[in-house]
Chains A and B, each alone.
Chain A
Amino acid sequence: KQEVTQIPAALSVPEGENLVLNCSFTDSAIYNLQWFRQDPGKGLTSLLLIQSSQREQTSGRLNASLDKSSGRSTLYIAASQPGDSATYLCAVNRGKLIFGQGTELSVKP
């Protein structure tokens, strides 16, 4: 059974820091991996999608990497801002999305 784990569960950093969020999964047979952002009381917003054949994707200050062989993905956020405060979720796609529990990020001014 595919399991998705995100570490740490919560993270607090000062504004301006570069940071890395981690996602690990147990079965490498995936179609793609998607990173989402969820603000309190809101729905999920897609940030980046990495197909299984890709190694990384970039969007603005965000960079996501994928290493299928080791079952890992990282989301790198450069020059963090208070507006980045949210919960970040990763999900692997094996025909259906399987989500991690998320990392709650707080960026302090």
Chain B
Amino acid sequence: NAGVTQTPKFQVLKTGQSMTLQCAQDMNHEYMSWYRQDPGMGLRLIHYSVGAGITDQGEVPNGYNVSRSTTEDFPLRLLSAAPSQTSVYFCASSAPRGKVSTDTQYFGPGTRLTVL
């Protein structure tokens, strides 16, 4: 198993550009989520999904869109990038019990995004 994979590893954008961060997992996990990690702020939840076709907002959803058309993939879209979105982005997955994820969460290697 490759686990959780993320592409690209690094990205530089100009303000106003759009892009999609890709996340895929091959563990047949229902629960997937996106976090951003910033110095002094720790890891904060952006969006999450408990299964294909179901998404919900986390702590810091503004400026980001998600969709979940398959169990394996959970892309994160930045529609109009801003310097405040410069961060390291992590995708995670786990197998939920019921509607919350109570199992071990597995993280991808991260995408380092800089918005100029």
Contact = CB atoms under 8 A, between A and B. Distances in A.
Contacts of A34: 104-105
Contacts, number: 53
Interface residues of B, number: 25
Contact of B58 (A44, A49, A96): A96
Interface stretch (B13-21, B41-49, B79-87): B41-49
Interface in A80-100: 89, 91, 93, 95-97, 99-100
B109 A95 contact: no
Interface of A: 31-32, 34, 36, 42-46, 49, 51, 89, 91, 93, 95-97, 99-102
- Shortest Cβ-Cβ A-B pairs, 10 listed: A95-B100, A44-B107, A99-B43, A43-B109, A43-B107, A31-B102, A101-B42, A99-B42, A49-B104, A46-B104
